[in-house]
A = this chain, B = another copy of it.
């Protein structure tokens, strides 16, 4: 089946916001095994929205519209969709009650135009909105399903998961399940080579790779009559991927991030961690602190941007800095050791590098980074060469630091050596 997206909103056309809804819907629908060939953005304009909607309905089985369900006169997605389908709007009492309840919970009263949001197309399937006042709507014509979702991502995403996924599964009279194998420390092209034979011969399940900064995600998607059968198809492929990528697989859980996997590993081994950062300037600590509850393992960290800070806060030797420079394996190693000992942490990660745009030399170019990891007395240092602008180099450094941290803990505790490292 084919799906297309129509995102409605002048603020996207003006470039005020990036269309992350389209990316979310694309990834989700691909995961559901639907083919998406077109995405359109159009403003809050009756004529143009009608034109785009009619074009879409001629060529796709499912149209997902996002945005334009608000209470103001500008918002007309629902009105246009109903008109195109030849349906009248009528008061939907449960939605009126839900809106009343939403405002009551917040101690405020709805304004007159809020009731517009309870006027819904006749015979439509209504999706309750737990995070806002605009209900979602599904309208079915003889050859097409229109799915109308609110624009704010924090309303659209849960509604999609709760209501649209089961609807689409029913529509295709199949259950579609997917599982993602998340890999760190293996480059995209190398990962693709490792799974090329699987992709070339794929059927059901399908296999797709997604490159993220410092990570590769491989999604395995199967359709079957029920969830159990779908998972039966997925399981052996996930097992095969795990065996091919070994310890480079940090998770197969949907919600798990690399920093979460690292935090869990630290918790499991009852370890505390500290970070000493130069060029990343706090980004590594900040990523660990993304993880709720990280306080069990992360207590403190430092940003030592100047040489003096590296000496004073971490005890890096004056001689090391003058002989090898601030960006060197030796300095990184002393930073990590100094951080672990000073802040009494079991594990320390230290980062020093040249993020640019200035400060590079022929010998030490922009993008050169050293990362050291100190685990209970043993330090490992690695040299990296990243490309891109200042922001990209720093992001890549943080991902590499998390990856090295994870590798060092795994190696320390299990003495496993990585088979598939680059």
Which of A161-169, A291-299, A406-414 sits within the interface? A291-299
Taking CB atoms, residues of chain B closer than 8 Å to A26 are: 12-15
Taking CB atoms, residues of chain B closer than 8 Å to A312 are: 300
Which residue from B27, B301, B391 sits with its C-beta under 8 Å from A16?
B27
Taking CB atoms, residues of chain B closer than 8 Å to A356 are: 292
Contact B41 A38 (CB under 8 A): yes
Residue A386 is within 8 A (CB to CB) of chain B in the complex:
no
- Of A25, A154, A285, A389, which is in contact with the most chain B CB atoms at under 10 Å from its CB? A285
Assembly CA distance A343 to B38 (angstroms) = 55
Complex interface residues of chain A between 266 and 282 (CB less than 8 A to chain B): 275, 277, 279-282
- Of A41, A277, A312, which is in contact with the most chain B CB atoms at under 10 Å from its CB? A41
Residue A305 is within 8 A (CB to CB) of chain B in the complex:
yes
Taking CB atoms, residues of chain B closer than 8 Å to A294 are: 305
Assembly CA distance A302 to B282 (angstroms) = 8
Residue A17 is within 8 A (CB to CB) of chain B in the complex:
yes
Contact A14 B208 (CB under 8 A): yes
Assembly CA distance A289 to B312 (angstroms) = 20
Contact B305 A300 (CB under 8 A): yes
Chain B nearest CB, measured from A365 CB (Å): 14
In the complex, the chain B residue whose C-beta lies closest to that of A26 is: B15
Contacts A14-B26, A39-B12; is A295 near B306 (CB within 8 Å)? yes
Contact A300 B289 (CB under 8 A): no
Contact B40 A48 (CB under 8 A): no
Residue A358 is within 8 A (CB to CB) of chain B in the complex:
yes
Complex interface residues of chain A between 17 and 52 (CB less than 8 A to chain B): 17-20, 22-30, 36-43, 45, 48, 52
Assembly CA distance A309 to B301 (angstroms) = 9
Residue A384 is within 8 A (CB to CB) of chain B in the complex:
no
Residue A234 is within 8 A (CB to CB) of chain B in the complex:
no
Other than the given A282-B301, A286-B303, 8 more pairs (CB < 8 A) read A19-B22, A37-B48, A40-B40, A275-B282, A300-B304, A301-B303, A301-B305, A302-B303
